[in-house]
Amino acid sequence: MSILILAAGQGTRMRSSRPKVLQPLAGRPLLRHVVDCARQIDAADICVVYGHGGDQVQAAFAADGLRWALQAEQLGTGHAVMQAMPETADDNRVLVLFGDVPLLRPQTLERLLNECGADDLGVLTVDVSNPHGYGRIVRENGRVVRNVEEKDANDSERLIKEVNSGVMCAPARKFKAWLERLGNDNSQGEYYLTDVIAMAVADGTEVHGIKADSVEELMGINDRRQLAEAERALQRRLVGELMAAGVGFADPSRVDIRGTLRCGQDVFIDVNAVFEGDVVVGDNVVIETGNLIRDSRLGAGTVVHANCHIEQSEVGDECEIGPYARLRPGTKLAEQVKIGNFVEVKKSNIAHASKVNHLSYIGDAEIGSGVNVGAGTITCNYDGANKHRTTIGDGAFIGSGVNLVAPVEVGSGATIGAGSTVSKPVPADQLTVARARQMTVPGWKKPQKTS
């Protein structure tokens, strides 16, 4: 099997410096969706035909081990396939896909391949209510005999509802013979790949028109409006799969999954939640409204209150996050940790049942179990050139408004009085207070505005 993915188009209607096949859909390039689909077919060879913005496209997929074929001039789909055929083995079966048709499912392609004989031509089609602009599939006595493009169709052909997706499969040897005979005598002056249908019929090759289950699966992306429509269609599919697996959503239309979301049992997700990258959510997790969770793990029974930002973090079981909390990369929370409102944690480990409840910043820290961090406490981890770590032992109590000037260590069971600035080791099980002496300045007057 050789899979040829046509991805050379400029996509001028996108009005973007980014090649069309690199436009993002659910957080990944359009072409990534097609390549990932192709990977699930048993293919020995995947070739991408590239053109406009080729350097960007190749760079984005440099690690994928793909074969590349340059289409320097965009002279139609038939011409695009011609560029890939010289290095395609004659004995291979060829499947043609499109880099701007990202919603195709592997199951549909498997059905096309299985229902079409190995020596026949298979064409993926679909019935649409408004076929304007599409190539029509012309059948005689139920058999596919040709494809006719909109601009070349007569009045009766324009009434046909079955249209051609462009996705097709056939033996490479036959494809090469048909492509050699392909002409561009049409209104566009292009080499239409779909013209091989009539050639196959003339050669006595059976043509199978296999209908896809839905129009959405064959959506092509040419402009921003179609990209947005495809985004919603894909989100419906992804959320539908999760609901079928038992995940609860307050409103399935107001959740975005831009990557992979894996959920345990009895998970509930409220509106306007966004998941990016690889996210794993344990059993009985509740995610309230307005959260962004990226490349993170949430343990069973955890509650994420409204409007939190969690990135590259690991959250243990039965934790409580937010509202309005931020977990930055490198954060690891053990079980039953509480991170409260307007708290930011970065590159820190917080052990069992510790609490950072209000308006605090914890960066580059190692916090033991059962620690209470008071409101407004910060770890002063940056000296202007380097980052330094703060270590807080089990059971310590840090009062409100404390500055911990790293590197510094707080012993187990220690208490630090509110308003202290601590830059030296704090002994275990002792009260430490570090405040300047309070004083009142006689005769001091408030500054006045100058006119």
91 carries a ligand binding annotation:
no
7 carries a ligand binding annotation:
yes
370 carries a ligand binding annotation:
no
154 carries a ligand binding annotation:
no
DSSP designation for 212:
P
Block residue for tokens 């033996």:
171
381 carries a ligand binding annotation:
yes
92 carries a ligand binding annotation:
no
Three-state DSSP at 242 gives helix
432 carries a ligand binding annotation:
no
The active-site residue, picked from 52, 352, 358, 388, is 358
9 carries a ligand binding annotation:
yes
375 carries a ligand binding annotation:
yes
Distance (Å, rounded) from C-alpha 21 to C-alpha 26? Answer: 13
Q: Give the start-end residues of each E strand in 185-296.
A: 207-211, 248-249, 255-263, 268-269, 273-281, 286-287, 292-294
6 carries a ligand binding annotation:
yes
**DSSP codes joined into one string, 393-445:** -TT-EE-TT-EEESSEEE-TT-EE-TT-EE-S-B-TT-EE---PPP---TT--
100 carries a ligand binding annotation:
yes
Q: For the chain, give me the number of helices (H) and strands (E)?
A: 8, 39
Q: Report the relative pairing of strands 372-373 and 361-363 from DSSP bridges.
A: unpaired
Q: Is 79 labeled as catalytic in the residue annotation?
A: no
240 carries a ligand binding annotation:
no
435 carries a ligand binding annotation:
yes
Q: Which two tokens stand for residue 442?
A: 């006689």
Q: In whole angstroms, how far apart are CA 162 and each of 62, 107, 132, 200?
A: 38, 20, 11, 19
Note the residue count of the chain.
451
141 carries a ligand binding annotation:
no
DSSP designation for 271:
T
Q: How many CA atoms lie within 13 A of 418 on its CB side?
A: 4
Would you give the distance in Å from CA 54 to the centre of its chain? 22
20 carries a ligand binding annotation:
yes
Q: Are 209 and 162 in contact (CB under 8 A)?
A: yes
250 carries a ligand binding annotation:
no
225 carries a ligand binding annotation:
no
76 carries a ligand binding annotation:
yes
Distance (Å, rounded) from C-alpha 304 to C-alpha 323? Answer: 7
**Binding-site residue ranges:** 6-9, 20, 71, 76-77, 100, 135, 149, 164, 222, 328, 346, 361, 372, 375, 381-382, 400, 418, 435
Q: Which residues are catalytic?
A: 358
**Binding-site residue ranges for UDP-N-acetyl-alpha-D-glucosamine:** 6-9, 20, 71, 76-77, 135, 149, 164, 222, 328, 346, 361, 372
**Binding-site residue ranges for acetyl-CoA:** 375, 381-382, 400, 418, 435
